[in-house]
A and B are shown apart, each in its own frame.
Chain A
């Protein structure tokens, strides 16, 4: 067996790039940005090696679901190994992480003037931690990276944030850390029970999949995992850190948070919670779907009520990630495909919106919508781009978000009609807040003109335009040819579905009233191949 070093190389490049950027800035007083850019490009190029799997030229080796994996002993005392692996889902998440990292770097190229080297150190280390999270297949290693990504993110908010940055940073950290300690307890308990049953001490994800747990214990452990991921997602009522953290973070930090860090929660649910505890997840699904639907509505309502543009976008994230939760716990292929698509599309559209708010704040030094207005006249390019991403966010057909939300609703309708109906109202809410934001900021009379002190507002420069337009193109592509994403993610989801359906059937034999639900969901999977032809 040959050692495949691609995955650790990606992580190592990001870690090393971060250190180099810091040192370069400290001793040469410049050079941190090119170093950050080069290391991100290198990492992306390394990831590009897996393109063959995407286009279907190379199929995974028989007997293993991974495209690539590496396993080294780390702490044999506890059966902990340094186990990295990538499959379709992991690849999508990695691609999102690195490309959004690049986007955030390029679009805020000139924003950071204070201690720039240390900024890019934190930026790259956050990305390295996230890459680790998306590739770690050892639960201990997963938790390790889960924590490693937090500290640099904390510093990004606390040092380069806006007015209430320290408060927001501490709140962000305590929420995520306290919940992840619950997860650590659940992980340790899971491993311990597995060890008692099978005599094999391991943190290996694939071996733990076969752990035999009593239903009550599994339910508690599942809750431990769910808590940690729900905080990250964020789901009501654990979302309160998010508006503060997003609002106070610098633009690049907001992009990282919204586009990438939130996805770690959804990824964790899909990768770990659902397959590890299928019976408990089926039992818990109605609760989780209700939470998801309420998050959708709640996020939309609160977004509608904001005056601060960044807070508006932050609350819209709560709403959009509610769809992800809803889709994941609908427990059928279509809805989960929709949730994965939503993770990607939301990453793109929200990152772009944060970048736009950041660009506005950079030019006008305010994000208060009551002080903005009529910007279309002075900033036509920026306004047009903003319009595009606002309608993407509200789910205009033809863009990625529409496919995602449509599939989630389609899939979850089979599982639970009333919850889906409630969540659908959220789409109306999305239209309301997105259009309201456009109307207040870009149309109407020019309230801002009196306070600009005669300076000319500079429209988007080529760098920003290219970065934003490439995201727009990606969203259109996702909207027109979503099949590619579905095909890549399908094996991972199918594997989870096998476990979940087995669990659903075993529950069904006990409770006859669940019959209808599983019958409906087993009728769906053929339909998803037609989605590729939607406009």
Chain B
């Protein structure tokens, strides 16, 4: 490896170094605040490294191949940057989440610092995935990401202040994801084996050569690619591989839900885009129609199932299924430059909006769980019993009744996120949807566009119902339940920056378009 190659993967090296430092730091001195600080510093340093590498790359769409495994180019760096920024948001959310649930006095059963180690491991996996150019690095990165996610999904168990119900839900989410993820990994691995058998290559370049002379009709190669696609569809929770999504989203700690919804999916989309573009899989009708069917089903099923949800996290889970379906519509014309531009823009919109929505939901839930002043004991099961009452369960729609009057700022943030998800102008989600339409028209995907319209109309119903719940006049129950929702300064800052980005790129999309086109 030359120095130039080492420099090209600087963001990955920084992340790895950060993990080691954090491990050592925790073994010497356990401090929640210090661990969070180290994580943030690592992430920021990694972002800085991204810019350094981008500046050093040869101009004009140049790229650096790092051994045969990784390929660093501007697009990958952009994705890397996006994921790292999302990770910062998750770290802030996680800090607020753990601060309330981990008792600093007791030393047993209580390891908030591990959350950050796992977070950095997930980020290492995700960023490696973005740079992957070979099935070995692809598989390694995907597994690193998944393996670190399992304990994170079950992380509620570690906070000794968490209610019992939350702990068991979290464990359930973790086990479900573990089992189903293992299955999909096995399928994907088998697919890779078939592809290797058919082409004798594991790097994307070699596969591209094999795909170019693919015979018409069924073949070993095609079967392998289809199996691989299934593994990816599982990670993206495309219908019909979506069954795990609502349970895992609901059970997991909210910061982890935000992580899996943004970083987990964004990295896979980035990889899919690169894999399809490098190996020119868009020219194989069998694969594109497979994706088209999955997208169609995701838009319709996701939106239909979301209609009946009263739990916000489940609602967002189903809506994220639908949103990945929209994204695939743009993806299907991805062979052109415009297609990848549309995918990237929509992904940015999706990440900002989803992060924002989960941030508001998580911060509100944290404030509802705030133990009695001065109390250090665990939130008793009696307390968690009252949480079953829909008005007091912070994840139920009823809890949000009249939120606009109690906490206008939080409600406005959530409203902006919901409108962005629904694709209403002034928000980034609208420009994203506009890109989907433009891409669909270019590819003449009329059936899929019809599904986008139907899906959006269905989506409006549940987004609006939540929005209108927030503006309902106070009922007596909530009026007595408490006045404003108190959240930490870091939470406010996070929400402010997310909302500002959402509005900025919604009103002046040209800024972001210029960045994307400069890739």
Which of A's residues lie within 8 Å of B, judged by CB?
A: 26, 74-78, 114-115, 118, 140, 143-144, 147-148, 150-151, 154-155, 158-159, 166, 169-170, 173-174, 177-178, 181-182, 184-185, 188-189, 192
A16 CA to B515 CA in the complex, in Å? 31
A26 CA to B407 CA in the complex, in Å? 12
B424 contacts across to A, CB distance below 8 A: 147, 150-151
Contact B461 A174 (CB under 8 A): yes
Known contacts A147-B424, A188-B438; is-contact A181 B453 (Cβ 8 Å): yes
| Any A CB within 8 A of the CB of B149 | no
Contact B513 A75 (CB under 8 A): yes
A159 partner, pick from B426, B453, B471, B517, beta carbons under 8 A: B471
Ranked nearest first, the 3 interchain pairs of A and B with the lowest CB-CB distance are: A178-B457, A147-B425, A77-B513
Contact B430 A147 (CB under 8 A): yes
Q: How far is the CB of B47 from chain A (nearest CB, A)?
A: 26
B472 contacts across to A, CB distance below 8 A: 159, 166
Which of B's residues lie within 8 Å of A, judged by CB?
A: 404-405, 408, 419, 424-426, 430, 434, 437-438, 440-442, 449, 452-453, 456-457, 460-461, 464-465, 468, 471-473, 509-510, 513-514, 517
Contact B441 A185 (CB under 8 A): yes
B517 contacts across to A, CB distance below 8 A: 77
Known contacts A75-B513, A148-B425, A170-B464; is-contact A185 B453 (Cβ 8 Å): yes
A75 CA to B506 CA in the complex, in Å? 11
A74 contacts across to B, CB distance below 8 A: 510
Known contacts A77-B517, A192-B441; is-contact A181 B434 (Cβ 8 Å): no
A75 CA to B510 CA in the complex, in Å? 5
Give 11 A-B pairs besides A77-B513, A169-B468, A181-B453 with Cβ atoms closer than 8 angstroms: A26-B408, A78-B438, A118-B404, A151-B424, A154-B464, A166-B465, A174-B457, A174-B461, A178-B453, A184-B437, A185-B441
A158 contacts across to B, CB distance below 8 A: 468, 471
Contact A188 B434 (CB under 8 A): yes
Q: How far is the CB of A74 from chain B (nearest CB, A)?
A: 7
A166 CA to B462 CA in the complex, in Å? 12
Known contacts A76-B510, A147-B430; is-contact A177 B468 (Cβ 8 Å): no
Q: How far is the CB of B333 from chain A (nearest CB, A)?
A: 12
A76 CA to B453 CA in the complex, in Å? 26
Q: How far is the CB of B236 from chain A (nearest CB, A)?
A: 24
Q: How far is the CB of B321 from chain A (nearest CB, A)?
A: 20
Contact A166 B468 (CB under 8 A): yes
A397 CA to B430 CA in the complex, in Å? 48
- Counting chain A CB atoms within 10 Å of each CB, the highest count among B441, B472, B513 belongs to B441
Contact B509 A189 (CB under 8 A): no
Task: Look across to chain B and name the residue whose beta carbon is closest to the beta carbon of A158.
Answer: B468
Contact B460 A174 (CB under 8 A): yes
Identify 23 residue pairs between A and B in the complex whose beta-carbon atoms are under 8 Å apart, listed by A's number: A26-B408, A75-B509, A75-B513, A76-B510, A77-B514, A118-B404, A151-B419, A154-B468, A158-B471, A159-B471, A166-B465, A166-B472, A169-B464, A170-B468, A174-B464, A177-B460, A178-B457, A181-B452, A181-B457, A188-B434, A188-B437, A189-B441, A192-B438
Known contacts A77-B510, A173-B464, A178-B456; is-contact A148 B426 (Cβ 8 Å): yes
Contact A173 B460 (CB under 8 A): yes
Q: How far is the CB of B26 from chain A (nearest CB, A)?
A: 45
A26 CA to B424 CA in the complex, in Å? 26
A159 contacts across to B, CB distance below 8 A: 471-473
Contact B473 A114 (CB under 8 A): yes
Q: How far is the CB of B426 from chain A (nearest CB, A)?
A: 7
A170 CA to B465 CA in the complex, in Å? 7
Q: How far is the CB of A157 from chain B (nearest CB, A)?
A: 9
B468 contacts across to A, CB distance below 8 A: 154, 158, 166, 169-170
A144 contacts across to B, CB distance below 8 A: 425
A77 contacts across to B, CB distance below 8 A: 509-510, 513-514, 517
B509 contacts across to A, CB distance below 8 A: 75, 77
A490 CA to B200 CA in the complex, in Å? 74
Q: How far is the CB of B503 from chain A (nearest CB, A)?
A: 13
Contact A115 B405 (CB under 8 A): yes
A159 CA to B461 CA in the complex, in Å? 17
A188 CA to B468 CA in the complex, in Å? 31
A522 CA to B510 CA in the complex, in Å? 47
Known contacts A181-B456, A181-B457; is-contact A155 B465 (Cβ 8 Å): no
A90 CA to B20 CA in the complex, in Å? 66
A189 contacts across to B, CB distance below 8 A: 441
B464 contacts across to A, CB distance below 8 A: 154, 169-170, 173-174
A448 CA to B509 CA in the complex, in Å? 58
A143 CA to B405 CA in the complex, in Å? 31
A188 CA to B426 CA in the complex, in Å? 18
A148 CA to B472 CA in the complex, in Å? 21
Q: How far is the CB of B87 from chain A (nearest CB, A)?
A: 29
A181 contacts across to B, CB distance below 8 A: 452-453, 456-457
A147 contacts across to B, CB distance below 8 A: 424-425, 430
A144 CA to B509 CA in the complex, in Å? 13
Known contacts A147-B425, A148-B425, A192-B441; is-contact A185 B460 (Cβ 8 Å): no
Q: How far is the CB of A231 from chain B (nearest CB, A)?
A: 12
A77 CA to B517 CA in the complex, in Å? 10
B441 contacts across to A, CB distance below 8 A: 185, 188-189, 192
- Counting chain A CB atoms within 10 Å of each CB, the highest count among B404, B426, B464 belongs to B464
Task: Look across to chain A and name the residue whose beta carbon is closest to the beta carbon of B457.
Answer: A178
Q: How far is the CB of B435 from chain A (nearest CB, A)?
A: 10
Q: How far is the CB of A114 from chain B (nearest CB, A)?
A: 7
Task: Look across to chain B and name the residue whose beta carbon is closest to the beta carbon of A76.
Answer: B510
A185 contacts across to B, CB distance below 8 A: 437, 440-441, 449, 453
B514 contacts across to A, CB distance below 8 A: 77
Q: How far is the CB of B499 from chain A (nearest CB, A)?
A: 15
Q: How far is the CB of B191 from chain A (nearest CB, A)?
A: 36
A98 CA to B217 CA in the complex, in Å? 65
Task: Look across to chain A and name the residue whose beta carbon is closest to the beta carbon of B453.
Answer: A181
Task: Look across to chain A and name the residue whose beta carbon is closest to the beta carbon of B446.
Answer: A185
A151 contacts across to B, CB distance below 8 A: 419, 424
A140 CA to B507 CA in the complex, in Å? 12
Q: How far is the CB of B451 from chain A (nearest CB, A)?
A: 12
Task: Look across to chain A and name the residue whose beta carbon is closest to the beta carbon of B514.
Answer: A77
Contact A184 B461 (CB under 8 A): no
B426 contacts across to A, CB distance below 8 A: 148
Contact B405 A184 (CB under 8 A): no
Task: Look across to chain B and name the residue whose beta carbon is closest to the beta carbon of A146.
Answer: B425
A178 contacts across to B, CB distance below 8 A: 453, 456-457, 460
- Counting chain A CB atoms within 10 Å of each CB, the highest count among B419, B434, B442, B509 belongs to B434
Task: Look across to chain A and name the residue whose beta carbon is closest to the beta carbon of B454.
Answer: A178
A192 contacts across to B, CB distance below 8 A: 438, 441-442
B457 partner, pick from A78, A166, A177, beta carbons under 8 A: A177
A148 contacts across to B, CB distance below 8 A: 425-426
A155 partner, pick from B438, B471, B473, beta carbons under 8 A: B471
Task: Look across to chain A and name the residue whose beta carbon is closest to the beta carbon of B449.
Answer: A185
A151 CA to B424 CA in the complex, in Å? 9
A177 contacts across to B, CB distance below 8 A: 456-457, 460
Task: Look across to chain B and name the residue whose beta carbon is closest to the beta carbon of A166.
Answer: B468
B440 contacts across to A, CB distance below 8 A: 185
A114 CA to B405 CA in the complex, in Å? 11
B452 contacts across to A, CB distance below 8 A: 181
A169 contacts across to B, CB distance below 8 A: 464, 468
